[in-house]
Amino acid sequence: MTGTHVNCGYVPLVDSAPLIIARELRFAADEGINLNLLRQPSWSALRDLLALGHLDAAHILSPMPVAMSLGLGGFPAKIDALMVLSVNGNVIGVSSRVAKRMRDAGWNGAFDDPCAVSHALLSTADGPLRVGVPFPFSMHRLLFEYWLKADPLCRDDSYQIVTTPPPLMAETVGAGELDVFCVGEPWGSVAVDAGVAELILPGVAIWGFAPEKVLGVRRDWADGEEDTCRALMRAVYRAAAWLDKPDNQVLATEILARSEHLDLPDHAIYHAISGEIVTRPNGAPVETAHFLKFHQNAANFPWRSQAGWIAQQIGLPDGADIATAEACFRSDLYRQHLGPIGVDMPGASAKVEGAMRYPTAVASTKGHMILGPDGFFDGAIFDFDVDQR
Amino acid sequence: MAKKIKIVVVEPDRDRACEIIDALSEGGWGDATVLAETTSLARRLSEIDPDLVLIDLAHPSRDMLEQLSLASDARGRPVAMFVDQSDDEMTKAAIAAGLSAYVVDGLQKARIKPVLETAIARFQMMSQMRSELDAAKQALEDRKTIDRAKGLLMRARSVNEDEAYNLLRKTAMDQGRKVIDVAQSLVTAAELLG
């Protein structure tokens, strides 16, 4: 096989799909790269291999490049996000025991009411809730804490975070070690299928447009291997565009399920791809708008303001940290490498996060593009240009 | 002698765990506990309160350890991973051997280094043995597939075993593929066609 070899790490989740499609449908080969996908067992393993140069690129959690660039956890390393691979796609669930308690207290099982569900969860708790999330620096944790802390009943000791690898989430809930969890698909559905949990809220109900996974590379690689970097971004961009076409959903599910890279059952994948989520054992699917986006509404654009929000939520609200974080979401490279193939670009590289309650047309290089909705459940807006500079 | 180092080895495979414990005991580090159960890892670790945790790089529960080392204060207490973040050589050696180590409480570098060196050496030996074992298994699997493909050809084309193998080899050469890949395609096709 000819082509430049690119070693790309990933964790087997539905949202690694753009990389798998880029390889399987030969978007990568068309760009002259041989995309070698290397499955990793944990986020920390993936991070270390990327930081030490064993991997050229990786499917990483959106807070990881921010945390690494700010020297939090593991090796401090200059890791950049070239583009966003997926927006949204997480679910929050509770153990069957907690679900029963919530129902007894009057919760009606609705999957779209953040305030009612946090109240039901906290008012029935009989001690600190043990909350499973995949990684300390994950959108799962940031969204969960943002949501729960907004409830007036939430105190410092209302919950404790327990990092739990996604494939072990259902088992850990089943063993009675967790009360609540926030995880990416298919692992929420797997816990429901196993009869040990109910889903109470999709991530999209907390933040309408949360960057979930990004394509991460070392900054020196992005600068030093410019041609390969450009080819990789174009291949992944085309794969993401293909994935988000409704007509391709069934085929995409088949390819992902058959692919040696994912090793998950069809039905577990289809929930996330279609946005039809089964929230309790033997329940009917609940249609969830914007559940997971790979491409629409400029989903792949790495907004500087998204990195700013992440830094602030990690607990680094001062201007210098926000600026460092924003610099690792490489909207400049996105424009430089994808502009020439006709990708529509927004006028600005930062937006006011949370300002769009509805899909909104904004000025772009080709006239206009539709962004959002990107609202937060509590109506908050984050304008880092005004707040921080 | 200074205070003993309390070590936890996270390893579900009993034989591998024993290997590591033996190596550590030989080196004089007898206070080592094995944790095989992963669903209650965080709780068990806080009970044991070790100074050093060793874990297979390929173990998904590694992410749990990240949180423990971050637990107190994200900024004030950076994760002491492997020996020391600045010791690149040691870190690379550990990663190449497939090992991660977490220093839970600020241990001095000089005291951890020999423990890790022992563990790295043992990990290297084990992963080499494992890859040799995998290779042997794969070779056996491949031979079975090639035998089946030969059998299919012998029946379909009425040729003998040598001729069947030569046919496989020639096809593989013509197509720039491996014999095993051609054999696999043939077996798959035969299964599909019933």
Contact B64 A136 (CB under 8 A): no
* Residue B12, in any domain of the structure: yes
Q: Are residues B96 and B72 in the same domain?
A: yes
Q: What is the pLDDT of residues A288-336, one digit of tens each?
A: 999 999 999 999 999 999 999 999 999 888 889 999 999 999 999 999 9
* Residue B76, in any domain of the structure: yes
Pick B107 or A21 by higher pLDDT: A21
Task: Determine the residue type at B151.
Answer: G
Give the largest CA-CA distance in chain B. Answer: 78
Per-residue pLDDT, B107: 58
Contact B91 A52 (CB under 8 A): yes
Residue range of the domain that includes B163: 134-193
Domain boundaries, chain A: 4-87+212-263+292-347, 90-209
Task: Average the pLDDT over each of A87-91, A304-308, B12-16, B127-131 and give the range with the smallest value.
Answer: B127-131
Task: Average the pLDDT over each of A62-71, A130-139, A163-172, A375-384 and give the range with the smallest value.
Answer: A163-172
Helix (H) or strand (E) run with residue A75 in it: none
List beta partners, residue A165.
none
Q: Are residues B87 and B153 in the same domain?
A: no
Indicate the residue of B59, B67, B85 with minimum beta-carbon distance to A161. B67
* Residue B2, in any domain of the structure: no
Backbone dihedral angles phi then psi of residue A5, each to the nearest 5 degrees: -75, 130
Q: Are residues B105 and B155 in the same domain?
A: no
Report the C-alpha gap between A232 and A5 in whole angstroms.
Answer: 10
* Residue B91, in any domain of the structure: yes
Contact B74 A72 (CB under 8 A): yes
Per-residue pLDDT, B68: 65
Helix (H) or strand (E) run with residue A351 in it: none
Q: Are residues B38 and B60 in the same domain?
A: yes
Give percent above pLDDT 90 in chain B. 14
Task: Tell whether A320 is within 8 A of chain B (Cβ).
Answer: no
Task: Determine the residue type at B175.
Answer: Q
pLDDT, mean of residues B121-133: 74
The closest of A327, A335, A366, A368 to A233, measured between CA atoms, is A335
- Its pTM stands at 0.82
- Sheet of A292-293: strand order equals A33-39, A4-10, A57-61, A211-218, A79-88, A292-293
Backbone dihedral angles phi then psi of residue A325, each to the nearest 5 degrees: -65, -45
**How confident is residue B58, by pLDDT bands cut at 50, 70 and 90?**
confident
Chain B residues with beta carbon closer than 8 angstroms to that of A163: 42, 63-64, 66-67
- Above 50 in pLDDT, residue B182? yes
Chain A residues with beta carbon closer than 8 angstroms to that of B62: 41-42, 44-45
- The gap from C-alpha B99 to its chain's centroid, in whole angstroms, comes to 8
Per-residue pLDDT, B109: 60
* Residue B185, in any domain of the structure: yes
Q: A90-209: what fold?
A: D-Maltodextrin-Binding Protein; domain 2 (3.40.190)
Q: Are residues B82 and B126 in the same domain?
A: yes
Q: Are residues B119 and B173 in the same domain?
A: no
Chain B residues with beta carbon closer than 8 angstroms to that of A43: 63, 66
| Beta carbon pairs, A and B, within 8 Å | 83
Which residues have C-beta within 8 Å of that of residue B152, sequence separation ≥ 6? B186, B187, B190
Say whether A90-209 and A4-87+212-263+292-347 share the same fold.
yes
Give me chain A's average pLDDT, please.
Answer: 92
Give percent above pLDDT 90 in chain A. 79
Distance from CA of A16 to the nearest CA of B (A): 17
Q: What is the pLDDT of residues A175-216, one digit of tens each?
A: 999 999 999 988 999 999 999 999 999 999 999 999 999 999
Per-residue pLDDT, B79: 38
Is the CB of residue B54 less than 8 Å from the CB of residue B81? no
pLDDT, mean of residues A354-373: 92
Q: N- to C-terminal Cα distance for chain B?
A: 72
Q: Residue B12, class by beta-carbon neighbours within 10 Å (0-12 exposed, 13-18 middle, 19+ buried)? A: middle
- Of B115, B132, B149, the residue at which a domain comes to its end is B132
Report the C-alpha gap between B172 and B93 in whole angstroms.
Answer: 39
Which residues have C-beta within 8 Å of that of residue A245, sequence separation ≥ 6? none
Q: How is residue A292 written in tokens? A: 């997971």
- Most confident segment among A37-46, B16-25, B64-73, B97-106: A37-46
* Residue B1, in any domain of the structure: no
Angle made by CA atoms A27, A187, A218, in degrees to the nearest 5: 45
Q: Are residues B118 and B24 in the same domain?
A: yes
Number of Cβ within 10 Å of residue B85's Cβ equals 15
Q: List C-alpha distances in Å: A307 to A64, A147, A297, A313, A382.
A: 10, 19, 18, 10, 12
* Residue B46, in any domain of the structure: yes
Is the CB of residue A179 less than 8 Å from the CB of residue A206? no
Strand pairing of B52-56 and B99-103? antiparallel
Per-residue pLDDT, A239: 97
What interface predicted TM-score (ipTM) does this complex get? 0.73
- Above 80 in pLDDT, residue B117? no
Q: Residue A124, class by beta-carbon neighbours within 10 Å (0-12 exposed, 13-18 middle, 19+ buried)? A: middle
Per-residue pLDDT, A167: 84
CATH class of the A4-87+212-263+292-347 domain in this structure: alpha beta
Chain B residues with beta carbon closer than 8 angstroms to that of A168: 38-39, 60-61
Closest Cα in chain B to A44 = B63
Report the C-alpha gap between A301 and A364 in whole angstroms.
Answer: 12
Is the CB of residue A280 less than 8 Å from the CB of residue A298? no
Q: How is residue A67 written in tokens? A: 């945390």
Q: Are residues B157 and B178 in the same domain?
A: yes
Sign of CA dihedral A66, A71, A73, A78: positive
Q: How is residue B35 written in tokens? A: 């944790």
Contact B81 A74 (CB under 8 A): yes
Q: Are residues B66 and B119 in the same domain?
A: yes
Indicate the residue of A48, A177, A315 with minimum beta-carbon distance to B39. A177
Is the CB of residue A186 less than 8 Å from the CB of residue A93? no
Per-residue pLDDT, B70: 60
**How confident is residue B59, by pLDDT bands cut at 50, 70 and 90?**
confident
Q: Are residues B126 and B138 in the same domain?
A: no
Strand pairing of B99-103 and B80-81? antiparallel
Report the C-alpha gap between A329 and A82 in whole angstroms.
Answer: 7
pLDDT, mean of residues A271-286: 92
Q: Are residues B110 and B36 in the same domain?
A: yes
- Above 80 in pLDDT, residue A268? no
Helix (H) or strand (E) run with residue B194 in it: none
Give percent above pLDDT 70 in chain A. 97
Q: What is the pLDDT of residues B78-110, one digit of tens each?
A: 334 444 455 667 777 777 667 777 665 555 666
Contact B62 A45 (CB under 8 A): yes
**How confident is residue B118, by pLDDT bands cut at 50, 70 and 90?**
confident
Report the C-alpha gap between A191 and A167 in whole angstroms.
Answer: 10
Which residues have C-beta within 8 Å of that of residue A229, sequence separation ≥ 6? A82, A217, A221, A222, A333, A337
Give me chain B's average pLDDT, please.
Answer: 76
Q: Are residues B41 and B64 in the same domain?
A: yes
The closest of A368, A330, A365 to A345, measured between CA atoms, is A365
Q: What is the pLDDT of residues A62-96, one digit of tens each?
A: 999 999 998 887 667 899 999 999 999 999 999 99
- Of B132, B151, B172, the residue at which a domain comes to its end is B132
**How confident is residue A362, by pLDDT bands cut at 50, 70 and 90?**
very high
- Of B132, B151, B180, the residue at which a domain comes to its end is B132
Looking at the structure of chain B, the number of domains it has is 2
Q: What is the CATH number of the domain that holds B189?
A: 1.10.10.10
Report the C-alpha gap between A161 and B18 in whole angstroms.
Answer: 32
